[in-house]
Amino acid sequence: MQIQQALQLIRDVPDFPKPGILFKDITPLLSNGDAFSAITEEFASFAQSSTVIAGIEARGFIFASAVANNLSAGFVPIRKAGKLPHESISAQYGLEYGHDELEIHKDAVKSGAKVLLIDDVLATGGTIAAAIDLVHRIGGEVTHVLALLEISGLSGRDKINQLYPQIPITSLVVS
C-alpha cells in the first residue's frame, strides 16, 4: 500500500478527550495490515545503523516496537510517570489537553547511543521535547524524530527546532 493511502485511514474524532480537541484516531490504520506495514517500513528507512528505537507511551510504542522489530534493533520505552520498575529519571511537560510526566530508565541506552525517537502525533511538541531531554540526560543522542502526523497550527516543530536545532523531524502527514 502507498503511504498516502495508509495515512488516509487516520480518523478525526471531534471533542475527544475534551471539547475543542480534534483527536487523530490511528486505530483504523493499525487494524489494516498493509497500512501498518507500509508505515513501519517508511519509518524504518530513517534509521541509521546501530540505532536504538525509542517510543513514547502509549501510541508511540506501537510504531517504535514494530520498527525495532523490522530492523532487529533494540526498543526503549519512554513511559508515563510511575510505570518503570528500575531506576529512572523524569521530565514534566505541558500537553494540548493537560500536563503530564515522562520517565526513562537510567540505563536504557549506552552512552553515545544513537536513538531514533517515534511518536504518533506531534501537536504542541511538549511530549517529544521532554522525551529528547530524557534520552540526552541518560547519555544517548537523538538522531531523528519521527511522527506519523503533525498538527501544524500548534507549532510543535518550531518548539523542538528551537530547543534542538540539530535534530531532524519528519512527519508523514501534516494536518
Query: Could you tell me the sign of the dihedral formed by the alpha carbons of 68, 69, 71, 74, in that order?
Result: positive
Among 117, 125, 135, 157, the residue binding ligand AMP under the rule CB under 6 A is 125
Coil, strand or helix at 30: helix
Given its phi and psi angles, is residue 5 left (phi above 0), alpha (psi -120 to 50 degrees) or beta?
A: alpha
Per CB under 6 A, 131 contacts ligand AMP: no
Within 81-113, strands assigned E span 88-95, 98-105
Among 6, 56, 68, 146, the residue binding ligand AMP under the rule CB under 6 A is 56
Place of cell 511522527: 147
Number of residues that bind ligand AMP (CB under 6 A): 19
Place of cell 513501519: 40
For 39, the grid coordinates are 508505515
For β-strands 98-105 and 88-95, DSSP reports them as antiparallel
- How many of the other CB atoms lie within 10 Å of CB of 98? 8
* Site map (CB under 6 A) of ligand AMP, residues 11-40, x = contact: ----------xxxx----------------
Query: Which of 57, 79, 96, 103 is labelled catalytic?
Result: 96
Quick check: is 59 catalytic? Answer: yes
Query: Which of 11, 41, 42, 59 is labelled catalytic?
Result: 59
What is the 8-class DSSP label of residue 83? -
Per CB under 6 A, 120 contacts ligand AMP: yes
Among 38, 78, 122, 146, the residue binding ligand AMP under the rule CB under 6 A is 122
Per CB under 6 A, 121 contacts ligand AMP: yes
Per CB under 6 A, 171 contacts ligand AMP: no
Coil, strand or helix at 140: coil
Per CB under 6 A, 77 contacts ligand AMP: no
Per CB under 6 A, 150 contacts ligand AMP: no
CB of 121 to ligand AMP, least distance (A): 4
- Active site (catalytic) residues: 59, 96
